[in-house]
Amino acid sequence: MFSWLYYALVLVTGIAACPYNPTRPLNIRYDNLTCPMPIDDLSQKESTPWSYTPNCLRPVTKDSSSSEDISRPTYCLYSSTTFPSNHGVSIITTPESASNLLSYGSLTNQSVEHTMKTSTYKIVEIPGKGKGMVATRKIKKGEIFLVDYPSVLIGVPFLQDVQAHHRRRLVKKGIERLSGEMRQAVHALARKGGNYLLDDIFAVNAVSVPLGEEEGDQAMGLFGEFSRINHDCRPNALYRFSPKTLAMEVFSYRTILPGEEITVSYTPITLTKSQRQEYILQNFQFQCTCSLCLAEDCSDSDHLRQRVGELQSTLRQAMENEYFENALVIAHEWLEMAEKEGIPPLMPEWYDVVARLSYDVGDLAGARRYAQLALNGWTKFGSSDDSELEAARDFVREVMRLPRDTKLKRKGVPNIF
């Protein structure tokens, strides 16, 4: 469902991360999973997608009040030199989290090639920004034009629990296990001039992504191509990450013309101009000079973004409390405000939400209409993660098997407007 929550990770390590998909996180439901047994450096060797025996740390910290030792979770480095298509990836997380990734099929699902659509864009020097990504052909609205995979994924709890020198040693080992080409790509990424090279690279280029559905399953990911995309407060592209495929998909908000710089937003979309500038300066150490920030009067934009934020919060509350009629009205107003500000949602996702809300309020015709729009949208979108597509297909079957004159039972609490 719509859950435009953002993750502002200012870690105790001092490493900041671009929040994961500020506009719309990827929502996936995994049912009836069979989780493999967690594997660490003490496990018996068995068939796994990992190319090396895991290297593990078992950190212990002192309780500030009693001075007693407190054991932290075990963290291990898992590396695959073949996923995907010999790209290679190193992941630092708990054995349980790594087991979850295997249960999703993340490391064995190679149905999608590691796609760098270089005919679509090129990496060039952008005045005042360093390197950036520029379109080399017309990119249609809603087109996925880049599929990137992480070179390194580091669980956020690891960064919080493990001392800096141990953390750096394990991260360095993970990067050393990448191919020469991938190591070179990591070291070529932008930096800010700090004392520790890898900390520096992660601070400037890492993005937070979900490793699963649990709230704490967040990781910092380093992507060779995706990291070259610069920020704009009114971007022309969006991104989404799937823990099921470990794919970062970048798609166009609107039509992008040849020669136009491709941009994404590093900030939550609901922030005002002053809030965005403070956020960017604090987390990424640069001053935004996009057209929206340079405009003399941003009051209309600020008002719309604040209203979008209010509607997001109200919509979540209405759905959680089963005020479905209210939620349906709010969803339509949210779309109107977001489109007016030029920050619309991914439409198949919006259609899906409205279809299910229509069903909940007893509107079978509306449920059918929006369910079919959602299915058509996900089919056209062509994501490497087919979770939403399959869910939309199942819902269409459910509403289409009902006779047209079926009277649906209204669910939830009556309208409170």
Whether residue 222 sits in one domain with residue 363: no
Look up residue 4 and give its DSSP letter.
-
Rounded to the nearest integer, the mean pLDDT of the chain is 82
- CA–CA dist 134, 121 (Å, integer): 5
CA-CA-CA-CA torsion sign (400, 405, 410, 415)? positive
Does some domain include residue 293?
A: no
How much is the CA Rg of the chain, to the nearest whole Å? 22
In sequence order, what are the residues at sequence separation of 6 or more whose Cβ sits closer than 8 angstroms to the Cβ of residue 250? Answer: 144, 145, 146, 147, 148, 226, 229, 237, 238, 239, 262, 264
- pLDDT score at 65: 65
Percent of the chain with pLDDT over 90: 47
Select the more confidently predicted residue: 416 or 279: 279
Does some domain include residue 21?
A: no
Question: Band of the pLDDT at 125, cuts 50, 70, 90?
Answer: very high
Does some domain include residue 3?
A: no
Compute the residue count for the chain: 417
**Res 19 pLDDT > 60:** no
CATH code (residue 133)? 2.170.270.10
Question: Band of the pLDDT at 6, cuts 50, 70, 90?
Answer: very low
The count of other CB atoms within 10 Å of the CB of residue 143 is: 19
Burial class (CB in 10 A: 0-12, 13-18, 19+), 417: exposed
Question: Band of the pLDDT at 24, cuts 50, 70, 90?
Answer: very low
- pLDDT score at 60: 72
What is the side-by-side strand order in the sheet with 144-148? 144-148, 247-252, 237-242
Q: Which of 285, 280, 282 is nearest to 266 (CA)?
A: 280
Whether residue 309 sits in one domain with residue 238: no
Provide the residue range defining the domain that includes 115: 55-279
Question: Band of the pLDDT at 11, cuts 50, 70, 90?
Answer: very low
- pLDDT score at 368: 94
Whether residue 227 sits in one domain with residue 142: yes
The CA-based dihedral angle spanning residues 273, 278, 280, 286, taken in that order and rounded to the nearest 10 degrees: 110
What is the side-by-side strand order in the sheet with 89-93? 55-57, 75-80, 89-93, 150-155, 218-223, 207-210
- CA–CA dist 307, 298 (Å, integer): 14
Whether residue 335 sits in one domain with residue 261: no
Q: Which of 254, 308, 261, 252 is nearest to 126 (CA)?
A: 261
Assigned token pair, 90: 């190193």
- pLDDT score at 336: 92
Number of domains composing the chain:
2
- CA–CA dist 116, 346 (Å, integer): 22
Contact between 201 and 216 under an 8 Å Cβ cutoff? The reply is: no
Question: Band of the pLDDT at 4, cuts 50, 70, 90?
Answer: very low
**Res 238 pLDDT > 80:** yes
Does some domain include residue 314?
A: yes
- pLDDT score at 414: 56
pLDDT tens string 155-166: 999 998 898 999
Q: Which of 232, 251, 279 is the last residue of a domain?
A: 279
Select the more confidently predicted residue: 385 or 262: 262
Q: Where are the beta strands (DSSP E) in 253-327?
A: 261-264
Q: Which H or E run includes 346?
A: none
- pLDDT score at 38: 59
Whether residue 179 sits in one domain with residue 62: yes
Assigned token pair, 370: 């929006």
**Res 3 pLDDT > 60:** no
- φ and ψ at residue 64, rounded to 5 degrees: -65, -25
- pLDDT score at 47: 60
- Give, in degrees to the nearest 5, the angle at Cα 373 between 340 and 348: 55
Mean pLDDT of 125-141: 93
- pLDDT score at 15: 42
**Res 44 pLDDT > 80:** no
Whether residue 251 sits in one domain with residue 118: yes
Whether residue 336 sits in one domain with residue 371: yes
Does some domain include residue 10?
A: no
Range in 26-35, 58-67, 399-408 with the lowest mean pLDDT: 26-35
Percent of the chain with pLDDT over 70: 81
Helices 164-176 & 180-187 angle (0-180, nearest 10): 130
Q: End-to-end distance of the chain based on CA atoms, in angstroms?
A: 22
Whether residue 319 sits in one domain with residue 260: no
pLDDT tens string 239-277: 999 888 899 999 998 999 999 999 999 998 899 999 999
Whether residue 136 sits in one domain with residue 70: yes
- pLDDT score at 234: 92
Contact between 20 and 33 under an 8 Å Cβ cutoff? The reply is: no
Assigned token pair, 371: 């369910």
Whether residue 380 sits in one domain with residue 241: no
Contact between 51 and 79 under an 8 Å Cβ cutoff? The reply is: yes
Whether residue 209 sits in one domain with residue 125: yes
Select the more confidently predicted residue: 113 or 394: 394
Does some domain include residue 50?
A: no
**Res 236 pLDDT > 90:** yes
Mean pLDDT of 114-143: 86
**Res 107 pLDDT > 60:** yes
Does some domain include residue 262?
A: yes
- pLDDT score at 412: 59
Q: Which of 322, 364, 330 is nearest to 350 (CA)?
A: 330
Q: Which H or E run includes 381?
A: helix 364-381
**Strands 230-231 vs 261-264: parallel, antiparallel or unpaired:** parallel
Burial class (CB in 10 A: 0-12, 13-18, 19+), 162: buried
Whether residue 310 sits in one domain with residue 240: no
- pLDDT score at 200: 85
Q: Which of 367, 326, 307, 381 is nearest to 26 (CA)?
A: 381
Mean pLDDT of 361-370: 93
